[in-house]
Chain A
Amino acid sequence: MFDSLFGKLNLGHLLFLHGAQRCLALSELLCVQAQLALTEGGLESKAIFIDGGNTFDPCLIAEYAEQLSLDSDKVLENILVSRAFTCHQLTSLIANNLKPWIDRLNIKLAVISNILEPYSDPDIAKKQSLIFFKVALNSLISMIREKKIVAIGTSLDDERIRKNSFFKQIAYHSNIIAKLEDHGGSTIVILEKHLANPPDILFNERKRRIPLTGAE
């Protein structure tokens, strides 16, 4: 399903999912799929989920595991979670903690959920949060390349977020960008950028209407 949605995603790439709530669910689903064998489209790897929005739902993971006929306890054991409640914590997790964890656990997939939200905290000076974001993003990009992992960033957004510089920076560095829009019972995936295209241009929307319910 993943390849049919986004095309092929290689190790060393950053995928950025934004838009509707469903992108959070999709990132959790990918944490389950990452545990599958290579022959089954997985990465044969544990996953790390860095949660910037306190949205991680272990019950949903268990549900996905059952739908894929996997042992839900084992799947839950193979996903490592750490929540960040401030932009400083998120920066510290990405810049300082992530690399040793990837080394120690031989991780191939890292999800950074709600990656933009902690940096938009009105309590933090804009200038400071921009710099912290840059520190976090640069660390993430170099780590993805060095460690050859797949990283997924997610963000729930509205129209305003596209204009902010956090979005522009992550968009520039992402290899694939997909926007998810809820329409009734189905979700539209808009592929906004792909490896095959120039890295700094968001190309015309390519829409695929797919029903994304449960673990589909």
Chain B
Amino acid sequence: MPKSTGSSKECVQSVKGWILDLYPKENEMVIWIKTEQGNTIRLVDKWQYSIYVSGNYSDLIGLAKQIPVDGVALDEKYVRPEDSDKSTVLRIPVSNSREAQELAEKILVYGGYKRFRLYNVDVKPSQMYLYEKDIFPFAFADVSQRPNGLEWRLLDSQEEVEYKIPPLKELTLDVKTVSERIPRFADEIKEININSGGKSIRIDSGDEFDKLMTLVELIRQLDPDIIYTSNGDEFLFPYLAKRAIENEVSERSVIGRERSPLRVSNEKGASYVSYGQVHYRPLPTRLLGRIHIDMENSLLYCDCGLQGLIEVARICRIPVQRVSNTTIGTSMTSSQLYHAVRNDILIPWVKADPEDLKTARELLIADRGGFYHEPKIGIHDRVGELDFTSLYPMLMLKKNLSAETVRCKCCPDSKERVPELGYNICEKRKGIVPRSIELLLKKRTKYKELEGRASDPSLRSLYEKRRAALKWILVCAFGYLGFKNARFGKIDAHIATCAFARQTLLKATRLAEERGFELVHGIVDSLWLKKKGATENDFIELRDEIYRETELPISFEGVYRWIVFLPSETRRNLPVLTKYYGVFMDGRIKARGIATRRHDTPEVVRKCIEEMLKVLAKGEDSNNFYSRVPESIDVLKKYVQALKSRRIELDDLVIERHLSREVYEYRHEVLQAIAAKQLVKEEVEVRAGQSISFIIINSENRFSKNRVLVAELVDERTPYDVDRYLELLFSSAATILAPFGYKASDLKRAADTF
């Protein structure tokens, strides 16, 4: 008999529907299916996953005798992706992730940390199930109960771009505490607000016990598939769990579909470093059988919405709930793990294979990053921009660049060579990394085409979100080649990709120069070119020629009426590669590296600079641009006056900054550290990587605690430091006008006359 229960209580032999969620439970996998009729069905599949051990054959036999687990057996697998032959390994079935981890550690100790290597230890069981069964979240499938477990028949394909998503019941949950100031776990619940299908429900009657029980009952009745929260991981769900304990209803605080109550975890969230910046990820709250999306902590949701999350879940084979609360790298890695599992390649627990030995001279040539050509500071007329589309992932795919293919042992005489370095590239097998990005690239191109063709704005937005989600994954795919913890990354493959990219940009530059173009600026995958009298058609012809010669997709972004390349703030004679603004012939403004693009710019400054740019954008060419500068300074005057007369809304003065370290580690009283200390004083837990919002109230105050006020404590009586905000305004305005001789100090002096 099938072992299925759920919202629909009947037992089923076969069901068609979409895979909504899945998770392991004691040697079984629980899968929630959303049927075409809108029911949600819980299926259970008897399934166990295994960890693997490699080592000397006699050591493996000895180890097998020491492990009191049923089902331990020898197996044949590839222990490294570059291996030509399978090795004999020990397969050990485990019940859950914790058991896998504990057993793996014991084996390492038993082997003296030298004799054994472990595999598949920390792969999430839900993902492993998806890989093994060759299915994916939100896939439409026909699943049948068979004596040995569930049998899956996909009626869907990962390649599909016009796939259907079932109608999902969505709900937004919000909780208010009795505290007037910053909410704390010790505060009682004031009210709970639920918004479902446009209907708002407020739970504010009775005592706290009643409110909690009403919430649980309402969730059960409404039975949402998705619950959206703001800060649900960091505060809302841990808070509800603590209030449930206070009211002695902990075991009844069930929000998911499984009878698993909310728990207070002793674990903390994690601070981590990505591209030199410290980030913080709170411990996620998973609602079994539903999808919890914390809108404040899901970067991908913020950028690409639910459509983006589902697209990534489908293509990377990782449950939607996990996509929403994990890093993009984790999702991207999942698609690599899938290819490894499907090809019998084991997934190393730790990455122990180091970089190949190279001479210092080789390193000097190899480790040079991407192509760049410094721009000439100042304004340039009629510059065209050409951008290679997904250049790095495209090179990884076309050139077969992966940890196991660059400098492989099997093809020392390969014809495929890395430019400048001469490293051989495997000709016998396609690497895991290229395999995993092939479909991503294909679908991204397809979505771009569909987006261009779609006349319905909602459809266009759908394709745009899916494309944007795939772009995130692709960007990450290159970065992960050199990432220390990437399972299938290696620095040599990273170096090789950069070498091919430099070669490509150099080739494109030469082709442009042969056609009489001058390279104004170039960086990584983009070129800015100009030629006297060149028309848009000339740029398009050049683009087509570059495409023919490189066989890499390249887009023509347009011709700028003018573009301004900006200098360094500290060394005015040095250009900054990523700091510029300009206006295309069709009036679109493009800006990079200036105040409008920085996340720590207060709204008042952002609005002012945007308005100044709009004024400058009216200039048809550089001469006309110069004549617009006084008008743009009038915009600045307007904001200066508004600040001086305190007519700026407090919300527009909020500055948001990342904490790059723990609060106690700050040695200097920088503004974000002062604001963070105010939160700590209010008993709020603050961690490195979190963002802190504050208003500058008196930056010169001799007591540092009085210099800023954290946004959570701001009210209508909060004063602000006019001079400091004026400084920020002048500095940002001076940045965009720097090539024309304006300095912040000049603007400040002039402000006295405004």
Could you list which residues of chain A lie within 8 angstroms of chain B, going by C-beta atoms?
48-49, 56, 58-59, 61-62, 73, 75-86, 88-93, 95, 97, 101, 123, 128, 131-132, 135
Contacts and interface: CB of A to CB of B under 8 A. Distances in A.
15 contacts: A56-B360, A62-B364, A80-B357, A82-B356, A82-B357, A84-B354, A85-B484, A86-B484, A88-B350, A88-B352, A89-B484, A92-B352, A92-B354, A101-B357, A131-B109
Contact of A83 (B108, B351, B355, B361): B355
Contacts of A93: 354
B491 A83 contact: yes
A88 B114 CA distance: 11
Interface residue tally on B, bucketed by range: 20 to 34
Contacts of A101: 357
Contacts, number: 79
B624 interface: no
B485 interface: yes
B110 interface: no
A142 B351 CA distance: 25
The 6 closest A-B pairs by CB, nearest first: A85-B484, A76-B361, A58-B364, A79-B360, A88-B352, A76-B360
Q: Which of A61, A76, A123 has the most CB of B within 10 A?
A: A76
Contacts of B350: 86, 88
Contacts of B108: 128, 131
B148 to A, nearest CB: 38
Contact of A59 (B112, B364, B484): B364
B359 interface: yes
Chain B contact surface mostly: loop
A132 B114 CA distance: 9
Contacts of B357: 48, 80-82, 97, 101
Nearest to A87: B350
A101 B354 CA distance: 14
Contacts of A128: 105, 108
B353 interface: yes
Nearest to B348: A88
Contact of A77 (B113, B114, B353, B359): B359
Given A76-B359, A135-B113, A135-B114, A82 B364 contact: no
A58 B354 contact: no
A80 B484 contact: no
A80 B359 contact: yes
Contact of B360 (A61, A84, A95, A131): A61
Given A88-B350, A91-B352, A81 B113 contact: no
B114 A79 contact: no
Interface string B463-503: 00000000000000000000011000001000000000000
Nearest to B359: A77
B105 A92 contact: no
B453 interface: no
Contact of A82 (B112, B358, B485): B358
A135 B352 CA distance: 14
Nearest to B483: A85
Contact of B485 (A48, A56, A123): A123
A46 to B, nearest CB: 9
B363 interface: yes
